[in-house]
Amino acid sequence: MDLSEHDRFPGRTHHYLAAEKLRTLVANWVALAAKQAGMKLRREIYESGDSHDVTISKICDAHPPSQSYRVTGRAPLQKEMKIARWFLAILCASATSLFAADELALRLQPALEAITPDGMLAHIKVVASDDFEGRSPGTKGEELSVKYIADQFKQIGLKPGNPDGTYTQEVPLAGIKSDPKMSFTIGDKTTELKFPDDFVASSARIQPEIKTDKSDVVFVGYGIVAPEYGWNDYKDVDIRGKTLLMLIGDPPIPDPKDSSKLDDKMFKGKAMTYYGRWTYKYEIAAQKGAAAAVIIHETGPAGYPYSVVKTSWAKENYEIDSPNKNMDAVEVRSWITLDVAKKLLADCGQDFDALKKSAITREFRPVTLNAQANIDIKQQLRSFKSHNVIGKLEGSDAKLRDEYVIYTAHWDHLGRHPELQGDQIFNGAIDNASGVASVIQLGAAFTKLNPPPKRSMLFIATTAEEAGLLGAKFYAEHPLYPLEKTLADINIDTVNPWGKTRDIEDLSDNNSMLDDMLAAAAKRNGRVMTPNSQPEKGSFYRADHFEFSKRGVPALYTGGGKDFIGKPADFGQQKKDDYTAHHYH
């Protein structure tokens, strides 16, 4: 889960639980998450022989990676493939004898036995220990984490995942600490804003100073270009060099038949699409050549209060240190509070509510305000190397082994915060030592399969997820094996520690056929896959798999279920809310 929902309480759950109790909990996780979401899903692929694999492969062929955001909807072709797969599955099933099923179970047994509660716990205890100092990229915590995971990959029999013969992929990062000044000039009056109470501003460009003077301010509504919805908030207005004032979230368009709810046909109704994320807003601003993108903060559509924005953006943040020094990013990315925005608009003779109302129609046109923005950001920069850790299990089929299935889990967490009194280490036992442990255990399990899977498998512990999915982004931009040949990314980011559930939540929002496969795998295990219970939070866009999905690789991301066996009906939601309020970041 990423940094944008940062709050102050560490995720050091293991501090609060006696080891024995945790051991019992972990026993439950294993069955629940690692085996069910991972092993059993893979087993589904494995058991069904070529038919499912071929089908997934076809989807990949039909959707070569590109920059378009196809994750916002299912392509019709996928539906055709779905039907094709159904027929193939029937053919497969009719050819499977009971004897073959028994033989298969025997063959799988050693793999399933490789996943144990003690094994999970052992990894979590090491990776989330105080020695690892909260695993901040570029620190001693990174050195220890990378070494531990690489050693484990080697020990369980995975080959070096980097073709250069190592278990690591170097990820060049830049630390950027911004000290911004921002003012607006209306007529002959200039108003200074207060950092960080009124606004935050920074740049992904790796430059010591960013300066924008007297840049015209244009209100661009939600700042979205979405041809599939017939939507364009820029309509022929040249906004190069200008400062864009934007709303956060998707346009909340009422259902024409029932205005009490949102129109499911537009921006997925209540669910958040990628167009609603702040990352999208800054990306489109860069594409349009704007000088600055200023997002108006609103707690509801953002999903968190301004205090979260303030703590996230006022500290040092990381970017990938690209050869072009990120000069293709928008110069200035900023948030301002709703109150400041309302006052600015009022000073320009505009009304926030009226503008917002006009922005939820297709007819909206950008509104040039009689204001100019002056922004000056001094940036403290440092460059350092971080690492993804990668293990590989070579496929057993000569024809198919150059195709890949990836498991990812980020190893990094929030590190150590010396300004805190008492315990300063954010251990991140759940987020995401639990995911790292799962990936190591899954790797161990797959090495026990005989014969090994036909296709090759990659196990990747990514860096700098908390800073904006940077390790996954770097891998996806510099893949060690072609993305065209990468059939799936299955991402594990936090594992449910509270007990067994009847359900498993699919956070992938039905973006690929992997969701159908998860549903089938859950059913096979007497469980049920439930859809994302809070699609308005946009979870799918906030973890590593999204960097793969964005480039056309089918991705799967699951959450723990909510229907706990032997617990009251609201137990799951309560636990989740408690974690978000007190333990998450």
Q: Which residues bind Zn ion (CB under 5 A)?
A: 1, 431-432, 493
Q: Two tokens at 137?
A: 């990229």
Minimum Å gap between C-beta 82 and Zn ion is 31
- Residue 456, H or E segment: strand 456-462
Q: ω into residue 196 within 30 of 0, thus cis? A: yes
Minimum Å gap between C-beta 436 and Zn ion is 10
Nearest to 468 by CA among 572, 567, 320: 320
DSSP states along 149-162 = HHHHHHHTTPEESS
275 vs 459, which CB is nearer to Zn ion?
Answer: 459
432 vs 549, which CB is nearer to Zn ion?
Answer: 432
SS3 content of the chain, % helix, strand, coil (to 5): 40, 25, 40
Minimum Å gap between C-beta 19 and Zn ion is 23
Minimum Å gap between C-beta 414 and Zn ion is 10
Residues 110, 114, 116, CA angle at the centre, nearest 5°?
135
Helices (H), 390-469: 435-447
Minimum Å gap between C-beta 6 and Zn ion is 12
Strands (E), 256-366: 258-262, 292-296, 317-320, 332-336
Q: How far out from the chain centre does Cα 345 lie?
A: 34
Minimum Å gap between C-beta 471 and Zn ion is 12
- Ramachandran angles phi, psi of 439, nearest 5°: -65, -40
- Using DSSP bridges, classify how beta strands 486-491 and 555-559 pair: parallel, antiparallel or unpaired: parallel
210 vs 414, which CB is nearer to Zn ion?
Answer: 414
Minimum Å gap between C-beta 409 and Zn ion is 9
123 vs 268, which CB is nearer to Zn ion?
Answer: 123
Q: How far is CA 201 from CA 106, 135, 212, 245, 338, in A?
A: 59, 27, 12, 13, 15
386 vs 456, which CB is nearer to Zn ion?
Answer: 386
Helices (H), 48-182: 50-62, 76-95, 98-113, 117-127, 140-155
Q: How far out from the chain centre does Cα 195 lie?
A: 28
Minimum Å gap between C-beta 32 and Zn ion is 17
